[in-house]
Every structure is written in structure tokens, then in C-alpha cells.
Amino acid sequence: MISRDEFVSRFGGVYEHSPFIAERAWDQGKIDEPLTASGVHQALSTVFRAASEEERLGVLRAHPDLAGKLAIAGGLTEDSKREQAGAGLDRLTPDEHAEFTRLNSAYIDRFGFPFIIAVAGLNKDDILAAFRRRVENAAAEELSTASAEVEKIAGFRLKALLSE
């Protein structure tokens, strides 16, 4: 049987730099063995949705800008680096990079957290199209959309960690 410390060590980064999600899921008795991607995802998502608005915003703010400064400086988590590279965000043209930079700034100014999208299965053109569309959303709509994307990212990460 897995211990709390092992669980948090293994799954604490599924929600970007937010181990409190895994800690609370364990402490609230939401984790059942055998561990499955869908079971752990349900438990962590339930905790994320029940977190205070400030805590959820903290999770959103913990995500890196897409193709932003952390990517250039090599400061992404391994998961983020792999996800962004898989979508081609590590191979942008100078014009594409300039547009991502402009959109990142506009988005953060408008919403107070970085643009978040589950990039699995998407390419840079898909992501740019979503970015251009979502930067125009109302604040409440975008908070909901970004939160749903965070849960999708968590699901992809869990599937990579646990096969069913």
C-alpha cells in the first residue's frame, strides 16, 4: 500500500507546483487502491474544484506562459517542457514567438494568470487560434475555461504516470 508521503511525492506535481491538491485528496480519504489514472484524476479534480478561489487562482498562476520566458530560459518543469515541445512550441518562428509574447502579455494583463491550454494533440496553429479567441473572453468564462484546461492537463499527466 502506498503511503501519504509516497503519494504526494508521486502526484504532488500533477497540478503545477501545487502539492496541496494531492495532500488534501489523501487526507480527505479520496484515494483508493489500486491507483488508476481515472480514480486519482477524479479525486484530485474534486479537491481542485473545492479549493478556495484564491487557491485555484494560485494553481493557474503556477503554470508557465506558453513559449514564454521560462521556456526560453530552460526553467519549465519536465512535464511542461515535454508538453510544449510536443505541440511544436519549442520551434516557433520569430513572428510566431512575437505573437505568443504579445498574446501572453495581453492575456495576463486582462485575467491575472497565464493562458492555459492542454496542448496534447494540438499544434502551434491550433493553440494560437484558441489564444486569439480566448483573450477576448469575459473574466468568469475564462476562469472556468482555464480551470477545465488545468484538469485536462492533470488527466494527461496522470495517464502518463498510471496506465489503466
Cβ count within 10 A of residue 28:
12
Per-residue pLDDT tens digits for 83-136: 777 677 777 888 988 898 899 999 999 999 999 999 888 888 999 999 999 999
Residue 73 to residues 53, 81, 92, 114, 150: CA-CA distances in angstroms? 30, 11, 15, 17, 23
- pLDDT score recorded for residue 120: 86
Write down all domains in the chain, each with its CATH number in brackets.
64-143 (1.10.3330.10)
Cβ count within 10 A of residue 129:
11
Confidence check: pLDDT of 80 > 80: no
Rg (CA), the chain: 16
Contact 46, 30 (CB under 8 A): yes
Average pLDDT rounded to a whole number, residues 68-78: 55
- The overall average pLDDT reported for the chain is 89
Average pLDDT rounded to a whole number, residues 53-75: 76
Q: Which residues are catalytic?
A: 63
